């Protein structure tokens, strides 16, 4: 992957025009993280993923509590519990669908900020719920916010990050989502279910406040003709001492080549449909590993097994292990590469964080907003089908049947990684896009 990507040039596309080729020193300055502001902007954005991870597993301690509720209007049956657990994914699918429009209409940053509205409203509904419908509506709204941020945040982070640390920063959305889940499990040991919903409001408000001071993506600003604002945003992200002229010219050149929306005729071109197909399959296969139903029903799963510790404690331990694994992935992704971790690591170190990062890296700029929303839509529709049917399958056949299925999917994922997933470590988004434009098949190996 390395050499073909470096030399990827087509007759109608030059990754690096001769007139603007940087010196080795300039390349170092562009790729190196000279300014801590890019980390601040990333942190502000990925607080949305914290809320997403928190909301995703909210049902893990809440379902057992509500199944024993003394209030008949809130006491859950098995069917109601399956809906309460799975309706989040329908909301997330709707959020991904909305992101297909909002990502390019409002921009990445404003779309992330907009997600705070349904998120805060959803938590408020669940905190004050007096009937099952309020629980479902609140769960759906937090799911909508999660689907929107899942489509927008990886794109925003990949577009503001220098190539040298894009892998590490690209893992932070998954890292924060796992940290959000762990926080829910930990608070579930201390707080009743209503106060768990109240606690979810805090990160949403902090995210909105911090993001209001952060710049938008320079690539988005250039696509809207706001060149001066884009240059200021890039300078803010890279620091006053960094020469951003070469990087800005490359982004500007790429945006100018793709100043119009992708047409149906262009969508049939390999350099457009191939990365989109890879991203869609990654999201589909990631969900088929069963991570969403396992996380949503983690505590009920432990209650059905012969574990030594209380199920609440087991769920918190799983959350801690996931956080540790994603942290390792974030620290090693720019050293080991994406494909290596996909091959040799478990979900939390590989198929969890890396698929989101690769999605944001390989999607063509011309279709990035729409395609990322489509990926999230496919991902969460798949998650809904699995989550809704999981408890029914377990009740009918036992835990071993779904887990054997998930294991078989993991083997399929290994074949898919070897045949279809490109290595993008250390490459700019413009280099990656040029690589797909060449039409070479070497990126498949």
List, as one string, the DSSP characters of 250-281. HHHHHHHHT-SPPPHHHHTSHHHHHHHHHHHH
* pLDDT band per the 50, 70, 90 thresholds, residue 27: very low
Model pLDDT, residue 259: 58
For residue 182, give both structure tokens.
């762990």
For residue 19, give both structure tokens.
């007139």
The per-residue DSSP string of 296-329 comes to: HTHHHHHHTS--SS-HHHHHHHHHHHHHHHHHHH
Label each residue of 244-258 as H, E or C: CHHHHHHHHHHHHHC
For residue 341, give both structure tokens.
């971790």
Of the chain, the percentage scoring pLDDT greater than 70 comes to 84
DSSP letter assigned to residue 290: T
Beta carbons within 10 angstroms of residue 396's beta carbon: 9
pLDDT at position 111 over 60: yes
DSSP letter assigned to residue 161: S
Model pLDDT, residue 9: 38
* Average pLDDT, integer, range 157-178: 81
Helix (H, G, I), strand (E, B) or coil at 13: strand
Sign of the torsion angle spanned by Cα atoms 50, 51, 56, 61: positive
Contact (CB, 8 A) for 258 and 272: no
Domain 24-214+259-438: which CATH class? Answer: mainly alpha
* Average pLDDT, integer, range 205-224: 91
Contact (CB, 8 A) for 243 and 26: yes
Model pLDDT, residue 24: 43
| Burial track 136-169 (b if 16+ CB lie within 10 A, e otherwise) | bbbbbbbbbbbbbbbbbbbbbbbbbbbbbbbbbb
Contacts of 9 (CB under 8 A, 6+ apart): 15, 434, 438
* Average pLDDT, integer, range 234-244: 81
pLDDT at position 146 over 80: yes
Helix (H, G, I), strand (E, B) or coil at 10: strand
User: Could you give the CA distance from residue 203 to residue 438 in angstroms, rounded to a whole number?
Assistant: 43
Sign of the torsion angle spanned by Cα atoms 388, 154, 96, 109: positive
pLDDT at position 90 over 50: yes
pLDDT at position 1 over 80: no
Stronger pLDDT, 336 or 289, i.e. the higher one? 289
Model pLDDT, residue 141: 95
Residue 407: CA count within 13 A, CB half-sphere: 6
* Average pLDDT, integer, range 375-379: 82
User: Could you give the CA distance from residue 319 to residue 202 in angstroms, rounded to a whole number?
Assistant: 20
Domain boundaries, the chain: 24-214+259-438
Residue among 46, 156, 144 nearest 98 (CA): 144
Q: Say whether pTM exceeds 0.85.
A: no
């Amino acid at each position: 992957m390395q050499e073909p990507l470096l030399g990827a040039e087509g007759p109608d596309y030059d990754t690096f025009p001769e007139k603007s080729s940087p010196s080795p020193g300039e390349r170092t300055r562009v790729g190196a993280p000279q300014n801590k502001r890019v980390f601040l902007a990333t942190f502000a954005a990925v607080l949305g993923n914290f809320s997403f991870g928190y909301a995703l597993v909210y049902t893990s301690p809440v379902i057992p509590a509500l199944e024993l509720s003394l209030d008949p209007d809130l006491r859950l049956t098995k069917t109601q519990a399956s809906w309460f657990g799975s309706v989040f994914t329908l909301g997330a699918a709707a959020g991904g669908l909305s992101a297909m429009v909002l990502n390019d209409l409002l921009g990445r940053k404003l779309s992330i900020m907009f997600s705070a509205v349904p998120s805060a409203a959803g938590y408020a509904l669940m905190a004050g719920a007096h009937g099952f419908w309020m629980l479902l509506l609140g769960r759906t709204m937090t799911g909508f916010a999660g689907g929107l941020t899942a489509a927008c945040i990886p794109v925003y982070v990949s577009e503001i990050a220098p190539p040298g640390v894009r892998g590490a920063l690209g893992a932070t959305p998954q890292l924060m989502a796992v940290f959000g889940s762990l926080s829910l499990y930990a608070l579930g040991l201390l707080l009743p279910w209503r106060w768990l919903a109240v606690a979810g409001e805090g990160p949403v408000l902090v995210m909105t406040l911090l993001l209001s001071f952060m710049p938008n993506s320079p690539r988005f600003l250039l696509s809207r003709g706001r060149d001066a604002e884009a240059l200021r945003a890039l300078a803010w992200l890279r620091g006053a001492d960094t020469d951003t002229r070469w990087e800005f010219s490359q982004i500007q050149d790429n945006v100018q080549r793709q100043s119009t929306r992708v047409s149906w005729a262009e969508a049939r071109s390999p350099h457009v449909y191939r990365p989109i197909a890879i991203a869609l399959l990654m999201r589909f296969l990631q969900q088929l590993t069963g991570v969403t139903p396992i996380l949503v029903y983690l505590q009920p799963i432990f209650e059905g097994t012969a574990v030594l510790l209380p199920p609440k404690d087991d769920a918190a331990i799983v959350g801690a292990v996931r956080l540790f694994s994603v942290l390792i992935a974030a620290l090693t992704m720019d050293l080991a590469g994406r494909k290596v971790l996909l091959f040799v690591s478990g979900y939390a170190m590989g198929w969890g964080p890396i698929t989101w990062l690769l999605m944001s890296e390989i999607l063509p700029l011309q279709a990035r907003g729409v395609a990322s929303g489509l990926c999230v839509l496919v991902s969460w529709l798949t998650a809904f089908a699995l989550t809704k049917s999981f408890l029914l399958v377990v009740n009918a056949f036992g835990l071993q049947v779904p887990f054997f299925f998930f294991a078989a999917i993991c083997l399929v994922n290994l074949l898919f990684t070897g045949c279809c997933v490109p290595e993008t470590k250390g490459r700019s988004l413009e280099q990656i896009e040029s690589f797909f434009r060449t039409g070479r098949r070497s990126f498949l190996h």
